[in-house]
Amino acid sequence: MIARVWHGYTRPADARTYEAMLRTSILPDLHRIAGYRGCHILHRSEGAEVEFMTITMWDSMGAVRIFAGADYEQAVIAPGAARLLSHHDDKAKHYDAAHSG
């Protein structure tokens, strides 16, 4: 199992809209990708912005590549989400998931 970790940041005024977009349109689309196993969304206020961390779970790096393409570390950001982000990681990090439970 592979965990793909990525950070994006919004202004506080955009945080609820961004989270709603993740829950209602972006993440449901991932369920159509073979090998996708779910997501954790974490967020916290940090001064004048809200940090979001998404941890998507995948069966394999092959599944990650189906989602992200050949340059699998490159951030994948939906066009509507990009306008809500003040900045974000350009690259995602990938980890072998050693334990869940």
pLDDT in tens, 22-59: 999 988 989 999 999 999 999 999 889 999 999 999 99
Helix, strand, coil percentages, rounded to 5, for the chain: 30, 40, 30
Cα gap 47→100, rounded to integer Å = 31
For the question of whether the overall pTM of this predicted structure is more than 0.85, the answer is: yes
Please tell me the predicted confidence (pLDDT) of residue 101: 67
